[in-house]
């Protein structure tokens, strides 16, 4: 699994180089040291998630690389979107108001994007794994990232 870890790190670094600049511009300015620390945390978080998923599934040598790529292509943008959502929530809390309709629409668009990422990942993984492996994958992903449950009645009975 050491080879997988090195490959995952290299691929994550490449994806990081493509995705992080848009995030960094939306946040407060960072020193170079802070930016490097943020990149390292980002890489480590993605690598840990990929490894946790792969440890929950028995994959062959031929399946390893496509699985790593599919998982990284999911976890990198997913983590970025989650960071943006958290930043928006903190901003709203700091301003002391609740979310506006525009804020709600933006959050819904982000959730839809995350759902699309998850759907795309499932399609890719289904093409890579056999049925038994795919079941293990689904179980592992559910433990790692439970799907949010919507309350019955639409808006929580309000």
pLDDT tens-place values along the chain, 158 residues long: 444 555 555 565 556 555 555 554 445 677 889 888 888 888 898 899 999 999 989 899 999 999 999 999 999 998 888 888 788 778 877 877 666 777 778 778 888 888 899 999 999 999 999 999 999 999 999 988 876 655 555 554 44
Mean of pLDDT over the chain: 79
Cα 116 to chain centroid distance, Å, stands at 12
What secondary structure, in 3-state letters, does 55-106 show?
Answer: HCCCCCHHHHHHHHHHHHHHHHHHHHHHHHHHHHHHHHHHHCCCCCHHHHHH
In angstroms, what CA-CA distances link 45 with 42, 94, 127?
Answer: 5, 27, 25
User: How many residues appear in the chain?
Assistant: 158
- Give me the pLDDT at residue 131, please: 94
- Give me the pLDDT at residue 83, please: 82
Question: What DSSP designation does 156 have?
Answer: T
Contact of 61 with 141, CB cutoff 8 Å? no
Cα 40 to chain centroid distance, Å, stands at 16
Contact of 125 with 56, CB cutoff 8 Å? no
Name the pTM for this structure: 0.69
- Give me the pLDDT at residue 67, please: 95
What is the per-residue pLDDT across 42-71, written as a single tens digit (0 to 9) for each? Answer: 889 889 999 999 998 989 999 999 999 999
- Give me the pLDDT at residue 25, please: 46
Rg of the chain taking only CA atoms, in angstroms: 18
């Amino acid at each position: 699994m050491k080879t997988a870890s090195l490959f995952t790190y290299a691929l994550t670094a490449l994806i990081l180089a493509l995705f992080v600049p848009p995030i960094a511009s939306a946040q407060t300015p960072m020193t170079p040291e802070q930016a490097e620390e943020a990149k390292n945390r980002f890489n480590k978080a993605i690598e840990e998630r990929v490894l946790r998923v792969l440890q929950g599934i028995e994959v062959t040598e031929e399946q390893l690389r496509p699985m790593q790529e599919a998982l990284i292509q999911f976890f990198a943008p997913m983590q970025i979107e989650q960071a943006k959502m958290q930043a928006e929530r903190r901003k709203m809390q700091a301003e002391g108001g609740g979310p506006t309709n525009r804020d709600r629409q933006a959050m819904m668009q982000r959730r839809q994007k995350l759902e699309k990422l998850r759907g795309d990942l499932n399609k890719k993984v289904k093409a890579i794994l056999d049925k038994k492996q795919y079941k293990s994958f689904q179980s592992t992903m559910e433990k790692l990232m439970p799907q949010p449950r919507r309350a019955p009645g639409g808006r929580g009975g309000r």
